[in-house]
Structure 1
Amino acid sequence: MLKLKKKINNTFTEELPADLIENNETRQVVEAAFSYVNPVKPKNPKLIHVSNEVAESVGISKEETQSEKFLNIFSGNSVLENTKPYAMAYAGHQFGNWAGQLGDGRAITLFEATHDNKNTMFQLKGAGKTPYSRRGDGLAVLRSSIREHLCSEAMFNLGVPTTRSLALFTSGDMVLRDILYNGNADYEKGAIVCRTAPSFIRFGNFELFASREDTKNLQLLADYTIKHHYPEIKSKGKEKYLKFFETVADKTREMIVHWQRVGFVHGVMNTDNMSIHGITIDYGPYGWLEDYNPNWTPNTTDNEHKRYRFGNQPQVAQWNLLQLANALFPLIEEVKPLEKILNDFPIKYESDYIDMMHNKLGFQNSNDDTKNCIYLLTENLQLTETDMTIFFRNISQVSKEDTVEIAFEKIKDAFYTLEEAKNVIYDTWMYWLILYINQLQKENQSDSDRKKAMNLVNPKYVLRNYMAQLAIDDAENEDYNLLNELYEMLLKPYDEQPQFEKWFAKRPDWAKNKVGCSALSCSS
């Protein structure tokens, strides 16, 4: 018997206005923060993976995760006693364009629960139609659900702020999807992910009320968010909302720095996919940089303009914060303090980015020479296909006493085409390695201490797209061994884990242009 019912604490629905209409018909919802809606009962739900770490963190025992009640509640097959599921209302800018009302089109929040003085929202993704589903069915398929489940936990263990994933279920239903939006729709296995977060409030929640000039509910939402999620803000009046915006901007910047550190590309940085907690949310067509290419985006919908490419993520974050500032303006009514926070964003980001790169390269000192070394490196990494994860992991093996030739041998495994790196590019790398080794010789740290510190910020294992696709292919045949293996490996991405050494490798040739490995659509 789940003990959660003793800890239910539904602050969002108790303190914010509800949609007065209680049906699942797609419509414009006004003067409401959410709509009550029950999940669709899956045909034959089966638990295929659970994160025991997440379960423990929210007060669910390992034994309880194997119970029938856990299966039923977190697959949407039944509703926990004394709770009332709902979908959130929000708006947003998609690919830079105002999209109006959006909302939880395939997500349904079950309830909030408190454990160890921490309040958590439990939300199902793929649990059926809501008033915000527009032309969709509100369901999700196995491939996208596996990707979200694995990536949520991979990101958490990499130290990147993120939502978590409690459990992954197959629904027993078949779901019609056009994976590349090219007219070739087909049925796929349905699935449901139960994800958790302090809340699922997004920039778009504020944009919705502001766009409708509903200042009353805009203020209610802001006051609620500050009260429950930023209680450290003690300011009053306009200063309170300004401090809230500044805090969200800081947390967003910190998140983006982490993305750039590990080579993560979100793929759909619309304002409705930006959390007010500064956590990564909505794992759709995401990807991991394999070759270091700042212009790469995993999103097929973004192929032409590449708005959400790796190198543009800090700029998009600032643009999204501008939209949040516009939404909060009716509560602040002063432009200059908002502009200052926005203008400070790239300055603070650049400082944080340099600090992060110093850590990745093992520099304790910071000066013009180290900064020059960083900027030259990011140029070098683009001269020929160079695996980002392998390069930064292996550069820690370079010692102060190495010759540049020895140092090159230690990083050469990162090059996809070694022959290219041995021609003109070789001289460029030799020059950079001279600068790098010279800098190491100025550092006080020993080689072993530096390597240890570098290996705490440069992961050995990340969830490469081809790895997730292999797990998906097996899971389609009800073989979940690889899913389990990847999950176990990603629990400790900075450890050597020799039993998983085969995954410390460059992307295989077959995966370079394969659907699901090189690029993905928003189809779920």
Structure 2
Amino acid sequence: MKFNIKDTFTKELPADPILENFRRPVHACFSYVSPKKTAYPVLVHASRVLAKELGITEEDLQSEPFLQVFSGNELVPNTTPYAMCYGGHQFGNWAGQLGDGRAINLFEMEHQNKHWALQLKGAGETPYSRNADGLAVLRSSIREYLCSEAMFHLNVPTTRALSLCETGDKVLRDILYTGHPEYENGAVVCRVAPSFIRFGNFEILMARDDNATLKKLTDYTIKHFFPHITSGSKERYIQFFQEVTDRTLEMLIHWQRVGFVHGVMNTDNMSILGLTIDYGPYGWLEGYDEGWTPNTTDNRDKRYRYGNQIHIGLWNLYRLASSLMPLIGEVAPLEAILDGYRDAYEQQYLKMMKSKIGLYAEDTGDIVLIRTLEENLHLTETDMTIFFRNLSNIDKQTPDNANFLSTVMDAFYLPEELTDSVRETWNNWFVAYVARLLREDLTNLERRKRMNKVNPKYVLRNYMAQLAIEAAEKGDYSLVEELYQLLLDPYGEQNEAEKWFAKRPDWARNKIGCSMLSCSS
């Protein structure tokens, strides 16, 4: 097992001069720290798709060196693991220094002209662990592992996951912060991305008035991840912020498209590359509800609810803009970019929603049609994934008095709530929708194929992940493999997997891990 090591972060940015691993304020970009050795590591699963992208063979995946390196027990020769220093705004409040409290970057590498950073999550204490132990548990690790790869195959910008190992250690966690912690199985996930730099890496330097290091970090980021930006000093930082803004918005539009809710959109959880990062109490909309959040910590204010994610993205970008101000020296160009975010969102959201319902030509009535649809989806609990997937089966030649609801009936959790009034409201929308489809120059089959490329049939519903967790905690990893295979092709029909194209079962409605999730992992 060989890697083409190409470390840049540690070679080009300031290091913490203190090598001892204890909690402290760190005035540098990173601290050297090694993973904690694990007791009895076992490989739960490895992503063969990602392994191939990294040049890791099937034989490597089955080898003892792979298990030892990616469980944290051994280091790849000539590598120096490290944890990043960053700050962040958490739930709207400045939290000061945060950093990689339980993530340790193993090394950077290149393969086939692509640059990757490999990081272990749950690998032990770092100078940024604060009062925590730096470890992770199996349940949250399964969720992160499966979701990282699921999002990639949904075509959502994301960090990836190479492997998941049980450590053989027990980890004490209070899953819902009730004051009654219990021991759980420990685990380690290997996360992979071009870089794990976050908004918070820039925020902490601005907060400390360390403009020299802020410039070094920004120049480093542009050099390695935005190399096409070649303009002069101030202009390049403005262009850099524009591109981060564009990438962030693109990611969030994808979240809305597939019904993904991150749950903890703190600025330290925002990738500078516009990648979905830090899979904690996330969830997919089951019943369509713009006010839903999967995070119990956010239950009161619902700051990170589905319908607010786009606005939180903008709020976070304002924090990044403030952090770059020392390099730019004027507010106007940053404000122009942030104002442009709002306009771009309106346009991109409309285009995305039109694609979900199979509309492509320009039509001034589409905004009203979509807004009415979103209102109707709240009339009774309606499964988002099933509704939009089955909507592609509507025949645009259907007469106005047809039973349109029969096409999407499987999406309704409580069909008995479809009163005459609700049915009439829906029927009026379907009549308008079919009339609009007739103005599209596509056959039903052509439209269905295009809609089914943006409306997934399979997503990682929380109850599915919970089933895999409960089996794995008993030593059965087969369901992790089954879901991994399923999520490799979320837009395909996969007739043999039809059981997963179903609404959340009643037993999962109020079950911990299915409807109630916390940051405890």
* Per-residue deviation, residues 424-466 of structure 1 (Å, max 9, x unmatched): 2111101100110000111110000000000000000000000
What residue number does 1:460 align with?
Answer: 457
- Determine if the alignment matches structure 1 residue 287 to structure 2 residue 283: yes
Query: TM-score of the superposition, structure 2-length normalised?
Result: 0.99
- Once the two structures are TM-superposed, the CA of residue 366 in structure 1 deviates from its matched residue by 2.4
Q: In structure 1, the residue corresponding to 2:196 is in which secondary structure?
A: coil
Q: In structure 1, the residue corresponding to 2:468 is in which secondary structure?
A: helix
Query: TM-score of the superposition, structure 1-length normalised?
Result: 0.99
One-letter amino acid of the counterpart of residue 517, structure 2: L
Alignment map for 1:136-175 (pairs within 5 Å) = 136-175=132-171
- Determine if the alignment matches structure 1 residue 415 to structure 2 residue 415: no
Q: In structure 1, the residue corresponding to 2:433 is in which secondary structure?
A: helix
Match of 2:233 among 215, 237, 240: 237
One-letter amino acid of the counterpart of residue 440, structure 1: L
What residue number does 1:426 align with?
Answer: 423
Match of 1:503 among 488, 500, 505: 500
What residue number does 2:434 align with?
Answer: 437
What residue number does 1:3 align with?
Answer: 2
What residue number does 1:259 align with?
Answer: 255
Once residues 38 and 44 of structure 2 are traced to their aligned partners in structure 1, the CA distance between those partners, rounded to angstroms, is 14
Q: In structure 2, the residue corresponding to 1:397 is in which secondary structure?
A: coil
Alignment map for 1:217-232 (pairs within 5 Å) = 217-232=213-228
* Per-residue deviation, residues 122-179 of structure 1 (Å, max 9, x unmatched): 0000000000000000000000000000000000000000000000000000000000
Once residues 11 and 177 of structure 1 are traced to their aligned partners in structure 2, the CA distance between those partners, rounded to angstroms, is 35
Structure 1 stretches lacking a partner, 5+ long = none
- Determine if the alignment matches structure 1 residue 57 to structure 2 residue 56: no
- Determine if the alignment matches structure 1 residue 37 to structure 2 residue 33: yes
What residue number does 1:12 align with?
Answer: 9
- Once the two structures are TM-superposed, the CA of residue 351 in structure 1 deviates from its matched residue by 0.4
Once residues 237 and 88 of structure 1 are traced to their aligned partners in structure 2, the CA distance between those partners, rounded to angstroms, is 26
What residue number does 1:79 align with?
Answer: 75
Q: In structure 2, the residue corresponding to 1:156 is in which secondary structure?
A: helix
One-letter amino acid of the counterpart of residue 454, structure 1: M
One-letter amino acid of the counterpart of residue 434, structure 1: V
- Once the two structures are TM-superposed, the CA of residue 519 in structure 1 deviates from its matched residue by 2.1
Match of 1:275 among 271, 291, 307: 271
What residue number does 2:331 align with?
Answer: 335
Once residues 102 and 237 of structure 2 are traced to their aligned partners in structure 1, the CA distance between those partners, rounded to angstroms, is 30
What residue number does 2:193 align with?
Answer: 197
What residue number does 1:368 align with?
Answer: 364
- Once the two structures are TM-superposed, the CA of residue 365 in structure 1 deviates from its matched residue by 1.4
Match of 1:115 among 108, 111, 118: 111
Once residues 134 and 38 of structure 1 are traced to their aligned partners in structure 2, the CA distance between those partners, rounded to angstroms, is 17
What residue number does 2:202 align with?
Answer: 206
Q: In structure 2, the residue corresponding to 1:189 is in which secondary structure?
A: strand
8 Å CA contact retained: 1:266, 1:286 = yes
Match of 1:514 among 489, 494, 511: 511
Q: In structure 2, the residue corresponding to 1:416 is in which secondary structure?
A: coil
One-letter amino acid of the counterpart of residue 433, structure 1: F
- Once the two structures are TM-superposed, the CA of residue 288 in structure 1 deviates from its matched residue by 0.4
Once residues 277 and 403 of structure 1 are traced to their aligned partners in structure 2, the CA distance between those partners, rounded to angstroms, is 48
What residue number does 2:298 align with?
Answer: 302
Once residues 332 and 177 of structure 2 are traced to their aligned partners in structure 1, the CA distance between those partners, rounded to angstroms, is 44
Match of 1:187 among 152, 158, 183: 183
Q: How many residues end up aligned between the 2 structures?
A: 520
Match of 1:397 among 389, 393, 397: 393
- Determine if the alignment matches structure 1 residue 25 to structure 2 residue 9: no
Once residues 410 and 308 of structure 2 are traced to their aligned partners in structure 1, the CA distance between those partners, rounded to angstroms, is 28
Once residues 373 and 144 of structure 1 are traced to their aligned partners in structure 2, the CA distance between those partners, rounded to angstroms, is 39
Once residues 201 and 304 of structure 1 are traced to their aligned partners in structure 2, the CA distance between those partners, rounded to angstroms, is 30
- Once the two structures are TM-superposed, the CA of residue 423 in structure 1 deviates from its matched residue by 2.9
Q: In structure 2, the residue corresponding to 1:442 is in which secondary structure?
A: coil
One-letter amino acid of the counterpart of residue 123, structure 2: A
- Once the two structures are TM-superposed, the CA of residue 367 in structure 1 deviates from its matched residue by 1.8
Report the RMSD for the aligned CA atoms in angstroms: 0.7
What residue number does 1:481 align with?
Answer: 478
One-letter amino acid of the counterpart of residue 404, structure 2: A
Structure 2 stretches lacking a partner, 5+ long = none
- Determine if the alignment matches structure 1 residue 490 to structure 2 residue 487: yes
8 Å CA contact retained: 1:358, 1:366 = no
What residue number does 1:131 align with?
Answer: 127
Once residues 437 and 420 of structure 1 are traced to their aligned partners in structure 2, the CA distance between those partners, rounded to angstroms, is 24
Identical-pair percentage:
60
Once residues 519 and 208 of structure 1 are traced to their aligned partners in structure 2, the CA distance between those partners, rounded to angstroms, is 32
What residue number does 1:448 align with?
Answer: 445
- Once the two structures are TM-superposed, the CA of residue 406 in structure 1 deviates from its matched residue by 3.2
Once residues 285 and 82 of structure 2 are traced to their aligned partners in structure 1, the CA distance between those partners, rounded to angstroms, is 36
